[in-house]
């Protein structure tokens, strides 16, 4: 189904909220895949599958309104930054100053993409 040219502001806001939720599910997916140790730990593997289905469902809903290129980039950015920030809490990972700097750049890019998503 083609995207609407100028959806109502309430629909656009709802789509961005759903995209944020999809990003949160993507973080859960990334962390649970890490915990599954290559899908060898059943409990983490099942959690990963659930988060995978949730993130794809929420992303597909958001992309009904948000342009695919912008929506996908924001979703991936949320997942990458969230996993990088939470990885040290759950796994034996480190967050260095250099990594934090590059994550800041990703966050800035996501914010600019959101700002660029204005109706024509």
Q: Express each pLDDT in 72-103 by its tens digit.
A: 999 999 999 999 999 999 999 999 999 999 99
DSSP per-residue string spanning 71-94: HHHHHHHHHHHHHHHHHHHHSS--
How sure is the predictor about 5, in pLDDT bands with cuts at 50, 70 and 90?
A: low
pLDDT at position 82 is 95
Spatial separation of the C-alpha atoms in residues 66 and 29, rounded to whole Å: 22
H or E element at residue 55? helix 42-62
Residues 5-21: b if buried by 16+ CB within 10 A, e if exposed: eebeeeebeebbebbeb
Pull the structure tokens for residue 29: 């997916």
27-60 per-position pLDDT tens digit: 999 999 999 999 999 999 999 999 999 999 999 9
């Amino acid at each position: 189904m083609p995207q609407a040219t100028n959806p109502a502001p309430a629909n656009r806001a709802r789509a961005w909220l759903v995209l944020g939720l999809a990003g949160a599910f993507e973080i859960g997916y990334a962390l649970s895949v890490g915990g599954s140790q290559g899908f060898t730990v059943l409990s983490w593997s099942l959690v990963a599958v659930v988060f995978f289905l949730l993130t794809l469902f929420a992303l597909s809903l958001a992309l009904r309104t948000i342009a695919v290129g912008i929506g996908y980039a924001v979703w991936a950015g949320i997942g990458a930054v969230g996993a990088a920030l939470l990885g040290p809490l759950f796994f034996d990972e480190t967050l260095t100053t250099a990594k934090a700097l590059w994550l800041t750049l990703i966050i800035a890019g996501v914010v600019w993409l959101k700002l660029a998503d204005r109706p024509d």
